[in-house]
A and B are shown apart, each in its own frame.
Chain A
Amino acid sequence: MAIIPKKTPMREQPPKERIKNFNEVPLGYTPEEAINEAKRCLQCKKPPCVKGCPVEIDIPGFIEKIREGNFKEAIRILKDKNSLPAICGRVCPQEDQCEKECVLGKKYEPVGIGRLERFAADWEAEQGIMEIPKIEKSTGKKVAVVGSGPAGLTCASELAKMGHEVVIFEALHKPGGVLVYGIPEFRLPKIIVEREVNYIKALGVKIICNFVVGKTKTVDELLEEFDAVFVGTGAGLPWFMNIPGENYTGIYSANEYLIRVNLMKAYLFPEYDTPIVRGKNVAVIGGGNVAMDAARTALRLGAEKSMIIYRRSKNEMPARIEEIERAEEEGVIFHFLTLPVRYYADENGKVKEMECIRMELGEPDHSGRRKPIPIPNSNFKIPVDTVVVAIGQSPNPLIPQTTKGIEVGKHGNIIIDEKTGKTTKKGVFAGGDIATGAATVILAMGAGKVAARAIDEYIKTGIW
């Protein structure tokens, strides 16, 4: 059979239409499209794609089942290793993981593994079925998981399948962490997160919301009730640039902007109580996925101009290419090699203008990317009424601050043994952004999985 060089295209909402709504952009495969795409898989004997997957999904296995039209078996294989397939199929950077390793990708486009994963998960949801895997006999051991983001949910589901009693403590009022407060509806519909959270609950995991570990109870208190604690509290502390005028109103952290829209549904104000400033000239500072999310959200809130302000050039942008392309299609304006240096406000303290300086690229820095250097006397002003600062965030300090014996690195990240997730405190494990600094959903899930295995061993043997 002749090789089809390109991925089966996926239908999506056209840019002009989608910037008027918060609905998901790509629309998913039909069964025929999925089968066609599955047929492109070479079914390698030693599949390199699996090595590219942080949670070790049997990729050729589930694709083969899709090819056969046995979707039920396909989702079973996926869920054997991944409790959040509908989420991963949407937000994993497959181009840097499984699809990067795909043999077909050496000459042609790789197999659309992410698209197929999404298809199988969505197919199961459409059938209204939710198959629960085998759960081991109860061990009588209890584990507390702090935070219900990708790391916590994965760690909890793995432990539950092993027969342990698991309770997740979540500070916000809804489970999901960054999946509900951070990633926008048009990229990851919240109904999908809810469905996957329900699956985790169906495994027997108990989720307690509105519970701030470090405040409502400390980790040490949890250790009195539980045999082990997993900390997956994420990277919660937004960075600002500390430039003059940054506290004027209308200047948001990306976290605030996205929490308002995603978690609190401010785009539905006044039906929902939480408001948001609907800026006409919006500047988003930063070049990562979060910056793309914020810039695209601004368009959907009615911005006439949504701008990305990034200090390096397009090549150095950390955002996924797919996200940059979608932002471009939707009309986001990119100002590369531009750095904000000061804000100006009107008489009410509301931001009205941003002063920037032009940059040029010098020698590579510690990140391997060429270092941006300001060009003297190149300052210029851009009128803005809303600014979103999306330059990253540091690990949430609440738990390290309130727990004796947990050591942190110089960026505030909890120090762990990467092979086990063990912290420097006996019985306490950690993983995800709290340990690595801001990274991806799938890496956090991988860390949750690694820790689950080590927790299982620790609580069964008592050996630290």
Chain B
Amino acid sequence: MAKILKKEILAPNIKKIIVEAPEVAKKAQPGQFVILRIDEKGERIPLTIGDFDREKGTLTIVFQEVGKSTYHLGLLNEGDEILDFVGPLGKPSEIEKFGTVCCIGGGVGTPEIYPVARALKEVGNYVISIIGARNKELVIMEKEMREVSDELYITTDDGTYGMKGFVTDALKKILDSGKKIDRVIAVGPVMMMKAVSELTKNYNIKTIVSLNAMMLDGTGMCGICRVEIGGETKFACVDGPEFDGHLVNYDLLMARLRTYLEEEKLSLKLFKEKMGIQ
């Protein structure tokens, strides 16, 4: 059981919860994830750790409501308990002094890149961050990201805030300005990570991405999270979730994420009907 201590709405359908989980918080490191199950009939879903406070014994999780489980999670309130909450899982991000690093967060990838950017900054990197969203309303954690970045760029698809375009447009601009970047870390939608990796490949910059594969147990048992990295099969839960972006088979990842599209739609439809959500 993990109690929700605080809940905040960051943007339409994007919510932040602070959860009491002292043992997970004690061990959590940037880049890792938890698996939770809301109730007895619930599914197990992986969610990246947004932040952690070892002293208070809390974890921050930011999530977007896309399917039944995340909508359900969004309906929980402060004081409610999540039935099962396990972690920290996966390998932590590589935190070293690389020189100049570019941290890219797209959508709910932003809260996930935040602790990574902070840790990279703490060990002495020059941190350039780019956060992207569809529109102004969906730009989240700007203040926090600014605090841990030497430079921060914001892009929106429709140009309602920051630069109009995608995170790759901002990244290309930075690269073409002649700035030397030693490493890129990108977290966000698969399409975004794919586009970032394609771009940085031309510039020969090591790029790390965090793969949001489906998971069940999260400890290497089931193999649903298998991804292809340089033609080799890896399990995102134990070998990742972070991998070399230039080696990822993104098309396979996207196809695998669509396995249960119909079931997910049905599940969400039934839940919305039951709860009276539009």
Contacts and interface: CB of A to CB of B under 8 A. Distances in A.
A273 B69 contact: yes
Nearest to A238: B223
B256 interface: yes
Nearest to B263: A275
Nearest to B267: A270
B82 to A, nearest CB: 10
Contact of B41 (A171, A209, A272): A272
Nearest to A237: B220
Interface in A385-433: 396-398
A21 to B, nearest CB: 20
Nearest to B85: A210
B76 interface: no
Contacts of B201: none
B246 interface: no
A242 interface: yes
B233 A211 contact: no
Given A247-B256, A264-B216, A273-B68, A259 B41 contact: no
Interface residues of B, number: 41
B8 interface: no
B223 A171 contact: no
Interface of A: 171-173, 181, 209-212, 215-217, 236-238, 240, 242, 246-250, 252-253, 255-256, 259-260, 264-265, 269-275, 277, 348-350, 396-398
Contact of B86 (A171, A277, A398): A171
B226 interface: yes
B150 interface: no
A256 B216 contact: yes
B177 interface: no
Contacts of A252: 223-224
B260 to A, nearest CB: 5
Give the top 10 A-B pairs by smallest Cβ distance, nearest first: A349-B255, A275-B263, A256-B222, A273-B43, A253-B223, A210-B86, A173-B84, A236-B221, A274-B43, A249-B259
B222 A212 contact: no
A247 B226 contact: yes
Nearest to A260: B216
B233 A242 contact: yes
B263 to A, nearest CB: 4
Nearest to A235: B221
A398 B220 CA distance: 9
Which of A209, A247, A349 is the most central at the interface, judged by chain B CB atoms within 10 Å of its CB? A247
Given A216-B87, A237-B221, A397-B220, 18 more contacts: A173-B83, A173-B86, A181-B221, A209-B84, A212-B87, A216-B88, A236-B221, A238-B222, A240-B223, A242-B233, A247-B226, A248-B255, A249-B255, A253-B223, A264-B43, A349-B255, A349-B256, A398-B238
Interface in B204-220: 216-217, 219-220
A212 B89 contact: yes
B221 A255 contact: yes
Contacts of B228: 247
B37 interface: yes
A396 B220 CA distance: 8
Contacts of A272: 41, 43
Nearest to B67: A273
B96 interface: no
Given A211-B86, A256-B224, A397-B220, A271 B41 contact: yes
A448 to B, nearest CB: 20
A269 B27 contact: no
Given A211-B23, A236-B220, A264-B44, A249 B263 contact: no
A216 B83 CA distance: 17
Contacts of A265: 41
B145 interface: no
B264 interface: yes
B267 A247 contact: no
B192 to A, nearest CB: 20
Interface string B250-261: 011001101110
B141 interface: no
A252 B222 CA distance: 8
A249 B256 contact: yes
Interface string B104-138: 00000000000000000000000000000000000
A256 B27 contact: no
Nearest to B226: A247
Nearest to A397: B220
B66 interface: no
B266 interface: yes
Given A236-B219, A249-B256, A259-B216, A275 B86 contact: no
A271 to B, nearest CB: 7
A397 B219 CA distance: 10
Contacts of B23: 211, 216-217
Nearest to A171: B219
A349 B252 contact: yes
B24 interface: yes
B37 A173 contact: yes
B270 interface: yes
